[in-house]
Chains A and B, each alone.
Chain A
Amino acid sequence: MKKLFALALVCALLASMAASTALAEGKPFDGVTITFWGGQAEYNDGTKAVIAAAEEALGLHVEVEINPGGSEGDNILKTRIASNDLPDFLCYNSGSKLYDLNPSRCFLDIKDWDLVSRVDDAFLSSVTIDGAVYGLPQSSTQAGAIIYYKPDYEELGLEVPHTWADFVDNCAKLKEAGKTPVYFCGGETWTTQVLFLGDYYNIQAAYPTFAEEYTEGKAKYADIPAATRSWTKYEDLVDYLNEDKSAATVADGNFAIGVGDATHWFILTQQLPMIVAEAEDQSQIGVFGVPGDNPENHGLTVWEPMSFYVNKDSQNIDAVKAFLDFYYSEDMLNLYFETYGANGPSCIKGYELPESVCDAVRVDMQQYFDEGKTTPALEYVSPIKGTACEQLTVAVGLGQMSGAEAAAAYDEDCKKSAVQLGYNWD
């Protein structure tokens, strides 16, 4: 009798649970508001479209606060971490900047979430600290590469260069034809580093142990020829730059490449959606990696995207998880990339970008990934980065100092940064 009664109870319990889930099936998070903090770049049209769809499907409401970005953004985030006032989830850099935040104290370790198994390992390694996984990719990967205006190449019958010498050759021909071969944005100094940082594929190809030895202070830019080359490449370009090279901004660059005022631009491919928006047709814009000296090994230096992080103390972790599950469903990924465009191949395993994404990503960049000719940027493999990097790249880029001098100066700079991080470089 007792057993029967217990059985009946269990049955009733199960039935009621089933009923309640069935009831909630429609809009499981009706009336829940989750808060999100992110910059304008992350809260773009694609994200907005996905959020609108999620609000429709899940019934929750996403309240967005805009991150002003730059150092102001970093400060405000640190302030809010210190005052225990984080939003439910937020968007921030992956890689070395994540370390600065001491994530174990504020972000949720999500290594048990099913989603994590769908993300590729290269990305995961940039958000994993001491075995804990904190982030999920907001967007696609991107590369530090050369974005170029294809019609100029067709007009002069040029081929995509696979060695640096060929590239400089192409520049000479373009200049002869009265074009501006290379665009240089001295007005926003971070952009000038892309040639140097994007050349890491070639250093790593010629000197595979560079990252470790560099971190230990054994490998110096001034001593290793393959590494010095990253700096001297700027010298080769001095004659081929645009006239307003010391004042041009990123917005100018988007325009110049989009309409063909200049042919090449060393820049992160996160600019592609903006450049394509300027161009007459997306097929006019192409991408290739910074060429090295070996034509057989022309690869791409890859950056990981910004990440979503979840507030450890959030009241709405379930709702955030449901939102993120929704965000990474195939339909929503398609919606995101169709609305915003992509900076590079996606970090989700087995996911293919929709047809509408520009050729520069789907063809030009994808081939490097398919052939396995990619490497993560140095900042994901070594914590050390000299703080004056962009000042030096501007100086060499404008021809105010030689590549060798800059390499030596950068070594000094890295030493300071290494000592600050507690490395012993003597």
Chain B
Amino acid sequence: METKRKRNQIIGDIVGLFFTVVIFLIPFYFMFVQSIKSKKEANRLSIAWPTELHFENYIEVVKHGNYQLVTAFKNSGLLTLFTVLGLLLTGAMAGYVIQRRKGKLMTAIQSTIMLGLMIPASILPTIRMLQSMGIYKTMFSMVMIEIALQTPFTIMLYRGFMASIPVDLEEAASIDGCSRWQIFSKIIFPLLKPIQATIIILVGVQTFNDFTNPLYFLPGAANTTVQLTLYNYKGQLANTYNLLFADIIIITVPMLILFLIFNKRIVAGMVAGAVKG
């Protein structure tokens, strides 16, 4: 009986591993193989190992367009960093207040914020507004747009997580002489770590991978973000797949690293917020 169960477990593990390989590793391997082929060979898009290795594709991609990729990484990096920082701060505070206070006003505020999840941003009015404020085509405006667009989702996650923190803690802190601000900064904020990790990764990936918003709101060659560099290699008539995949790999790596660091916490944070409202 015992051995049978063990055997089943092993079989389960093997099947699981098999699917992991098929679903996650093979696409990655496929991209990698294309990225080290010559242009002619890469255009076949076969999964076979290249006849000649062309690691210089990577150098070419980095050098392309007067080191455009370096600028793009700088832009995307700044954009992601400030968006995440801004959201962590404002989202945590807003989520705290909305979750703890009850009443008609709070319900109204919350519904307004949640509307943001459903209503898409309109492009031209936003551009006009930015132009009239004189901040169109600046990194500052792009950060603000990203924060505005992702605020509802962040608050929703915070609110869900906040419900799992007992109010007793705050009462105890209050009795010990904490001011309201101290209750939040000293007691609540440190407890939010799991959900912070989730938000860092979700918002980070979302912002880093955002294509359409920078395309419309942040035009200009100096303002390119990493996703936009892909269009150097993809056209209507022909693609340079070797460079395209080399670019994809370079772009994927930072997010992959972020993911590996925060991996364990994501699920914890998501689940913690999932069941309690």
Contacts and interface: CB of A to CB of B under 8 A. Distances in A.
Nearest to B229: A66
B236 A79 contact: no
A80 B237 contact: no
B43 interface: yes
Contact of B40 (A72, A76, A278): A278
Contacts of A82: 124
B264 interface: no
Contacts of A270: 237
B238 A254 contact: yes
A83 interface: yes
Interface residues of A, number: 28
A314 to B, nearest CB: 15
Contact of A70 (B220, B236, B239): B236
A85 interface: yes
A251 B43 contact: yes
Interface stretch (A35-43, A202-210, A356-364): A35-43
Contact of B238 (A64, A76, A274): A274
Contacts of A70: 236
A38 B198 CA distance: 39
B40 A40 contact: no
Contacts of A68: 215, 228, 231
A80 B239 CA distance: 26
A277 B40 CA distance: 8
B235 interface: yes
Interface string B234-245: 111111000000
B277 interface: no
B65 A64 contact: yes
A251 B239 contact: yes
A101 to B, nearest CB: 16
B239 to A, nearest CB: 6
Interface string B174-187: 00000000000000
A69 B231 CA distance: 9
Interface string B114-127: 00000000011001
Contacts of A41: 235-238
Nearest to A254: B238
Contacts of A40: 231-236
B276 interface: no
Interface in B86-130: 123-124, 127-128
A110 to B, nearest CB: 24
Of A63, A65, A69, A255, the most chain B CB neighbours within 10 A belong to A65
A66 B237 contact: no
Most chain A CB atoms below 10 A, which of B44, B232, B238: B238
A172 interface: no
Contacts of B228: 66, 68
Interface in A134-152: none
A250 B221 CA distance: 29
Interface string A247-287: 00011001100000000000000110010011000000000
A176 B130 CA distance: 66
A72 B227 CA distance: 14
Contacts of A63: 221-222
Contact of B219 (A65, A69, A255, A277): A65
Nearest to A68: B231
Interface string B15-55: 00000000000000000000000001001110000000000
B237 A35 contact: no
Given A79-B123, A83-B127, 8 more contacts: A41-B236, A65-B219, A66-B228, A69-B236, A76-B215, A85-B136, A251-B45, A271-B237
17 contacts: A35-B220, A63-B221, A65-B224, A66-B231, A68-B231, A69-B231, A69-B236, A70-B236, A79-B216, A83-B127, A83-B128, A85-B127, A250-B237, A251-B239, A255-B44, A274-B238, A278-B43
Interface of A: 35, 39-41, 63-70, 72, 76, 79-80, 82-83, 85, 250-251, 254-255, 270-271, 274, 277-278
Which 9 pairs from chain A and chain B are nearest by CB?
A: A40-B235, A83-B127, A274-B238, A66-B231, A63-B221, A41-B235, A68-B231, A41-B237, A65-B221
